[in-house]
Structure 1
Amino acid sequence: MNATDNLLFNPVKLGDLNLPNRFVMAPLTRTRAPNHLPNALMAEYYSQRASTGLLIAECTMVTESTSAFGDDPGIYSPEQIEGWKLTTEAVHKADGRIFLQIWHAGRAAHPLLNGGKEPVAPSAIAIEDETHTPEGKKPYTVPRALTVSEIKAIVGDFRQAAVNAKEAGFDGVEIHGANGYLIDQFLRDSANQRTDEYGGSFENRARFLREVIEAVTEVMGSGRVGLRLSPLNSFQSMKDSDPVGLIRYLADMLNRYDLAYLHLMRADFFGLQQADVVPVAREVYKGHLMVNMGYSPEEAHQVLENKQADSVAFGTSILANPDFVERVKQGAELNQPDQTTFYTPGEKGYTDYPFLNA
């Protein structure tokens, strides 16, 4: 297939935005924000990749003392808003479009990364693993189960994050409902064993997500809000007894909100949970479906041609190829991502991947 025949190069309307192509840069944690402050180096990184139809910036804390990585950015302070303006202005100057992924880590936050503050979650169930801390690898701690009033306060944090993202110049926000973080912890029954109105049935487990969507869309408008889900991913000891039933329920529920998109991770990083969730979402969800996890440009074209999705998000291939869109168009060789620099500080493995014309 001639690369330019690939349907990824076709423009598409995504909510309130018109994208010049259907390539999306997936949100990728890069831990380049010391003291949780977005900076000029991050602005360079994102603006280098602005030829991508849509950039989704990395997971960003909606409230302080909820860090899961150490140098992850936030969007809860005036300094962070100013820091993110460097990125949005650079991306817009390069004719790009960028959403901010807004996020609460829940039980994935560690006290040693957060001044001793204990993590919170739907239920007092710890992740069965270790994480990196300033004192080396340590086991995750048992989180404290949230009270209903605390849940309402976190919904308010998501609302304020949307207000702040708008002020920082983002074109929209993606609500992080995937990969074992707080919203996902409510959605899946391995992490949520509550017996109140936030636990039990699909409807109850999705209540927190609904409240967040309603708060955020009130601020941004629904056409500038996306949602990321990973019903199969077992990362951070996540599991659900009925992932297909869960995505069917959520896809139907989401139809009432007219979001910019649903961003669906199709598989489990570890291959522990097997099911086919994309066709279920496609059948039930009436809006723009974005898919993610290990697609090649050729497979992505087939997915679009078969109308199995409307856009495709790429992760490490865009991380390593700032001009990924042009490389695919020319059929050029791709830079290979250097995993040893995914989370290290500085330019190496971040802004120094070569362009085709270098």
Structure 2
Amino acid sequence: MTTLIDAVELTRALIRRPSVTPADAGAMDVVEETLRSLGFACRRMRFGEIENLYARYGTARPNLCFAGHTDVVPVGDAAAWSQDAFAAEVVDGVLIGRGAVDMKSAIAAFAAAAAKAIADGTVSGSISFLITGDEEGVALDGTKKVVEALLAEGEVIDHCVVGEPTSSETFGDMVKVGRRGSINVEITVEGVQGHVAYPQRAANPAPVLIRLLAALQARPLDDGYPEFQPSNLEVTWIDVPNTATNIIPGVAKARLNIRFNPGHTGASLAGWIEAEAAKAAEGFEGRITVTPQISGEAFLTAPGPFTDVIATAVREAAGREPELSTSGGTSDARFIRALCPVVEVGLVGRTMHQVDERAPVAEIRQLQTVYERLIALYFARFS
């Protein structure tokens, strides 16, 4: 007989493992032991210093996957917390701890929902878990590498649910059916250092960088895209490493980020920035180097049977119709989309990454109910 799982107690056990990226601190062991006890075949997939786990119950299709991460962001000012950030204390019905919202509670809730489905005999296919320890970090040795390995092996995942905290103001008011893409760009302008009184003997990189950034910001990227908000470019860092008042600097640097909708690709935006840099370099006795890093492309899981299952599960368990949104930042869904359609469903994200990150116990249990309905509806629809 399958043992049922208390989602709140499992969340507390996970929080008590201080798995600040890239440390695992035994968090993945807790997940693996829990899933093995339910009959899942578990594979640890370590890349670099990152612990990852792929676990599957059953061998038949359809394969419904839950994806999430055990790693968390640093505590910050520990003294500002009302409770120890890793003690997982419940105060007045609220669980306080790093990872309570983002997103150890979702892992626990889906494990508890899977245990219930297995006990009830309603899994007419497979349930799998793709859990990483590298979502809050650089995300190079986590889900990205696991997805690449699963694709190479021919592993088939039909649909995926990611447990990120997607609700906006009230539990169940929003799920994510897509995300904007993200590209980071570093720009280095190298000139010729010299004395400010003799500019003819120098090549000041600062005005060149200023003109380039102004040109980039002057272009409206778009007015939006169906289901997506407009793309935006933000300058995130500028540095001219010069401590003297009478020296023309030899170098100037900047970084920027663009969050973009499907009207663009990372490559097209990188090409545009490089073209603008080439214009800015005309007549300049120096060099401009553009170094782009594409974090992920924009994607959308189109409305259809899978999104209907998600919305129905939320409506039946939470009592409200969720908005199907593409707002917010990026998540590991950007990698999973290479395997299958993906939707994100989770708690209210208001306190994620904050001091006293917290989740009401009642909402963790409600999330488990959403996942229970989701699993039942999924296999009824796709088996």
Instruction: Please indicate the TM-score interval, normalised by the length of the shorter structure.
Output: under 0.3
More strand by share: 2
Structure of larger gyration radius: 2
Structure with bigger RCO (C-alpha 8 Å, 6+ apart):
2
